Chains A and B, each alone.
Chain A
Amino acid sequence: MSVFAVSKEVLMTVIQELGKTHELHGPRVDRASGQVFFERAGAAEDIALEAELPSMPPKELFFPQVDRLLKYRYDSAARSVELTRLGQERPKALIGLRPCDLAAIQCLDRFFLGQEYVDEVYRTHRRKSFIVTYTCNEPARQCFCVCFHTGPAAEEGFDLNVTRLASGYLLEAGSEQGRALAVGLGLRPATEEQRMEKERVVERSIALFPEKATGNKAWASRVMNRVTTGFVKPEVWEEIGKKCFECGGCSYVCPTCSCFNVEDACGAEGECERLRTWDSCSLESYTRMAGDHNPRKLVEDRRNKRFFCKLSYSQSKKYLRPGCVGCGRCVWVCPGDIGLPSVVEQVKS
């Protein structure tokens, strides 16, 4: 791996260079609320690399909350229809992506691009993207990436990875396009001492994780075993179901949740658009069919389905890793305290 050492100014130059060919997206702090969002940045200096984990995952860039798939207009007099595919490739550079969110994008890649059918809609969004990850110097309160081996530093799947050192930044190229960019800008190779410093940054970051996160490391795989083999008692799911508000928030903030609904939205003039929108398995309408037959009506069955999806080995096959990356957003958002770590705790006991 080619490794470079850069100053803050040079790092900005790298991002500006990317901005010439790509839309820039990165963490930005909302002045009014103080919340961090991963969103479009007009310029390199708008990006707050060191801000905490964005409250929404960057999956939106490849799997938009509302995605226009196609449009048509049915001419009921001529009884004819013209369909037009919507959606176009926009080269995007994701700057300052956290390692957990990168692992989630790898899950989505394997799921949308690597199964029996390739999802062309996802592929169009994903093609021509450039990913710059950022090593987490310290965990946030809800983080548990160490349980799922996704952080605090990314190991693969990025084009460039940035680590903040005591003085300046270490820049690792993880792909040919990442290396070409660094070499093209004439970046200075890192010294052995600077590479070693990154190792210490990662070790220090791991040491800062709360006992609960590091202590659960072995439990994550044991709980996966229990969920896969159906070892979990129905009462546990019932208890978890009782705490669920059925708001769907966990699915929306989850960087690997990718269930979607499809509907045709039509205007008064007869113009219709086919929309792909985020959906959640916690909602009662998720499995409801025409005629109101619903094979999965009970909330505990729906909760069971979500955690089976995140924590079973059989589901892991589609991602080639567990469906949870340990970002902890579900802990933030859940009003019923059944974020994934709490579920692990309950299954454990």
Chain B
Amino acid sequence: MKAEAKITIVDFPEVVNIDEIRDEAPEVKTFYLSFLDPRLEAGFRIRSGQFIMCTVFGAGEFAVSLPPSPERDRLHITVRAVGKVTHALHRLRPGDKLGVRGPFGNGFPFEEIKGKNVIYVAGGIGLIPLRSSIIHVLQHREAFGRIILLYGARTSRDLLYREDIREWQKTPGFETFVAIDRAESGWDGEVGYVNTLIGKANVPVENTAAFVCGPPVMFNGVIAELLKRGMSEDDIVSTLERNMKCGYGKCQHCAIGRTLVCTDGPVYTYRQIKTLGEGI
């Protein structure tokens, strides 16, 4: 079979239609997108862990990670309304158009973690960039050891991808622990910060890779706990977020020391992140 040429939309956005919008959580929506150009709709391929630059016409552009599984899903993005551009995005309706550039970035290291246990630790919207990786690992179940998800959010309403989570909880051999910060009536899951789940899940540290993503406070707590249990800094993987303007290595906003998050990252091991010295 002839290898398909990789498409990267570098500096001139291509237009996509918003086919559908789903409310994920307060202030968080998922937008399903399709390219107007049929060649792009057929040929645009992403790797798990990459990101795109998304234009909200009239407001500007922002970098956003990609939750869809490259093998299975329609193109979509999940975005919390935080700044000027993302608020403008949230005001759009199905049928509105967006601009897309990319995909950019390195993606998750699946080859390197073959044969290992895989732990996902996500806090809040930190589940967004990890989603495609979870699906990939579940689809290649036989290539990995234990697979564990530890997911925490502030309240039950803040949990993303509830449909996926229900499916994952029923998937044999996938150990899922979902927690909210404080007890709520009607909630029969775990309660507490996500780092407390590490003990409850009795996570392995030998021959194990951990994918960690979430707000800085949660990230630092989880890393400390994993390291305390003896996990190697090389086996902890995360994806960095930076102010990005171009996505292809020229604007330099995402430069940390000698690395550019857009072209060298956004996926790094914790050892690399620590060496860069700037944190997440």
Contact = CB atoms under 8 A, between A and B. Distances in A.
Interface of A: 69-70, 72, 74, 76, 79-81, 83, 85, 111-112, 115-117, 119-121, 258-264, 266, 270, 272, 274, 279, 281, 286-291, 293, 295-296, 301, 305, 308-309, 312, 314-315
B193 to A, nearest CB: 19
Contacts of A115: 249-250, 263
Given A81-B97, A295-B280, A314-B258, A117 B249 contact: yes
Interface stretch (B79-87, B176-184, B222-230): B79-87
B258 A315 contact: yes
Given A258-B250, A281-B252, 19 more contacts: A74-B57, A81-B15, A112-B250, A115-B249, A115-B250, A116-B248, A121-B11, A259-B251, A262-B60, A262-B251, A263-B60, A264-B60, A286-B253, A289-B83, A289-B242, A289-B243, A290-B85, A301-B278, A314-B257
Interface residues of B, number: 42
Contacts of B11: 69, 119-121
Contacts of B252: 258-260, 281, 309
Interface of B: 8, 10-13, 15, 55, 57-62, 82-86, 95-97, 99, 216, 241-243, 245-246, 248-253, 255-258, 263, 278-280
A9 B21 CA distance: 70
B255 A309 contact: yes
Contact of B95 (A79, A85, A296): A79
Contact of B251 (A120, A261, A264, A270): A261
Given A79-B97, A287-B242, A289-B243, A117 B250 contact: yes
A79 B36 CA distance: 13
Contact of A290 (B8, B86, B245, B249): B86
Contacts of B248: 116-117, 119
B82 A291 contact: yes
Nearest to B240: A295
Nearest to A230: B277
Given A270-B58, A295-B280, A279 B258 contact: no
A119 B250 contact: yes
A315 B258 CA distance: 6
Contacts, number: 108
Contact of B82 (A279, A290, A295): A290
Contacts of B257: 308, 314
Contacts of B10: 117, 120
B17 to A, nearest CB: 9
B82 A116 contact: no
- Nearest 10 pairs of A and B residues by beta carbon: A290-B83, A74-B57, A314-B258, A117-B248, A290-B82, A291-B82, A262-B245, A259-B252, A264-B60, A289-B243
Contacts of A281: 252
B216 A293 contact: yes
A57 to B, nearest CB: 17
Contact of B253 (A121, A266, A279): A279
A121 B58 CA distance: 22
Contacts of A111: 250
Given A296-B278, A309-B255, A116 B58 contact: no
A260 B83 CA distance: 20
Contacts of A312: 258
Contacts of B258: 312, 314-315
Contact of A264 (B58, B256, B263): B58
A22 B113 CA distance: 57
Contact of B58 (A112, A272, A290): A272
Contacts of A288: 243
Contacts of B55: 264
B278 A295 contact: yes
B58 A266 contact: yes
A79 B255 CA distance: 36
A261 B245 contact: yes
Contacts of B96: 76, 79
A346 to B, nearest CB: 20
A68 to B, nearest CB: 13
A343 to B, nearest CB: 17
B58 A262 contact: no
A74 B57 CA distance: 6
A252 to B, nearest CB: 15
